[in-house]
């Protein structure tokens, strides 16, 4: 890639194809039940807020569209809870693992290899009860195009639940100071961050039901890579109530729940 050139969708796809998100969450053989069980365990141990945010039980019997499903971890939680899930993903390598996950678990899903920026070219447009996208939209060259596409799958009754990276966060500060990087793998081509105001601008066609920050990763990386969880300073000496409070102010994950404004709805 030309050093001065803007990263393209091909760069984004190549990055996630090289190392699908969370693929190293277990040292077991990729594709086995043991592997996926360990991936689940690690993900929801390190990021327990995801399950609270998703509220899988609420979507039993409902239609859920997931944009950027990665290796299908949240997808399978939703399917296990009884949601009728459609998963879409840009990276073939990620989607292949997600498909293996569903094959081993026997759960049902409809998967599409699709760029969220032009999802409606591939994924049949129909109304969904929930559109869910965790940590995806900020990685795409044109996040606003994904939002426009998502709107096609929503009615005023549908819910949107997305996670965007938070601009005013501990992690952003560490990245700025050169102590951290947005993803486990070096060289993520795009990782935009949003203030609450910028997120509201991106979601201008939506009524925001809730917007809050969560998640600070408190573990030492060297031990974490060996599947051990040792907290580093200052998180190791901090009472959990104070840690929760700091996550609300300085968390990396901006968790947004929203509904389409009635006059914008296109689906249904």
Ligand X SMILES: C[S@@+](CC[C@H](N)C(=O)[O-])C[C@H]1O[C@@H](n2cnc3c(N)ncnc32)[C@H](O)[C@@H]1O
Interface positions with ligand X (CB under 6 A) = 12, 16, 21-22, 67-70, 73-74, 89-91, 94, 115-117, 134-136, 139-140
Nearer to ligand X, 43 or 84 (CB): 43
Q: Please, what is the minimum distance in Å from the beta carbon of residue 236 to ligand X?
A: 26
Residue 104 CB, shortest distance to ligand X, in Å, is 17
State the nearest-atom distance from the C-beta of 178 to ligand X, in Å: 21
Q: Is 89 or 214 the residue whose CB approaches ligand X more closely?
A: 89
44 vs 250, beta carbon nearer ligand X = 44
What is the rounded end-to-end Cα distance, in angstroms, of the chain? 42
**Alpha helices (runs of H) in the chain, residue ranges in sequence order:** 9-18, 33-46, 49-54, 73-80, 92-105, 143-151, 170-176, 196-202, 221-224, 240-250
Residue number with the smallest Cβ distance to ligand X: 70
Instruction: Yes or no: say if 128 and 20 are a contact pair by the CB < 8 Å rule.
Output: no
Nearer to ligand X, 46 or 238 (CB): 46
Residue 51's contacts (CB-CB under 8 Å, 6 or more residues apart) are: 44, 77
Question: What is the smallest separation between the CB atom of 233 and ligand X, expressed in angstroms?
Answer: 27
Query: Closer to ligand X at the Cβ: 69 or 131?
Result: 69
Name residues whose C-beta falls within 8 Å of residue 56's C-beta, 6 or more positions apart in sequence: 77, 78, 80, 81, 83
CB 21 within 8 A of CB 93: no
CA nearest neighbour of 20 among 85, 79, 101: 101
| 85 close to 78: Cβ distance less than 8 angstroms | yes
Closest approach of ligand X to the CB of residue 97, in Å = 10
Closest CB 238 distance from ligand X, rounded Å: 26
Distance CA(259)–CA(155), nearest Å, equals: 8
Nearer to ligand X (CB atom), residue 144 or residue 238: 144
In the complex, minimum distance from the CB of residue 9 to ligand X, in angstroms, rounded to a whole number: 6
Q: Strand, helix or coil at 159?
A: strand
Q: Which residue has tokens 């939703």?
A: 78
- Cβ-based nearer residue to ligand X, 17 or 198: 17
């Amino acid at each position: 890639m030309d050093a001065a050139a803007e990263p393209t969708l091909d760069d984004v796809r190549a990055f996630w194809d090289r190392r699908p998100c969370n693929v190293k969450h277990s040292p077991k053989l990729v594709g086995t039940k043991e592997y996926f069980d360990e991936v689940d365990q690690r993900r929801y141990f390190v990021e327990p807020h995801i399950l609270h945010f998703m509220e899988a039980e609420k979507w039993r019997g409902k239609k859920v569209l997931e944009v950027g499903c990665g290796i299908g971890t949240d997808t399978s939680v939703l399917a296990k809870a009884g949601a009728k899930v459609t998963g879409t993903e840009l990276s073939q390598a990620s989607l292949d693992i997600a498909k293996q996950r569903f094959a081993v678990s026997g759960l049902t899903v409809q998967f599409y290899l699709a760029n969220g920026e032009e999802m409606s070219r591939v994924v049949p447009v129909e109304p969904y009860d929930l559109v869910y996208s965790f940590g995806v939209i900020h990685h795409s060259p044109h996040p606003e195009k994904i939002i426009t596409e998502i709107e096609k799958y929503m009615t005023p009754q549908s819910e949107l639940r997305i996670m965007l990276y938070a601009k005013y966060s501990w992690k952003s500060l560490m990245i700025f100071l050169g102590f951290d990087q947005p993803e486990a793998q070096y060289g993520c081509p795009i990782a935009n961050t949003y203030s609450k105001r910028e997120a509201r601008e991106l979601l201008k066609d939506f009524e925001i039901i809730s917007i809050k920050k969560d998640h600070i990763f408190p573990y030492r990386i060297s031990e974490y890579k060996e599947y051990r969880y040792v907290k580093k300073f200052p998180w190791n000496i901090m009472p959990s109530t104070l840690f929760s409070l700091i996550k609300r102010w300085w968390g990396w994950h901006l968790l947004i729940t929203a509904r389409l404004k009635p006059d914008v709805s296109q689906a249904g």
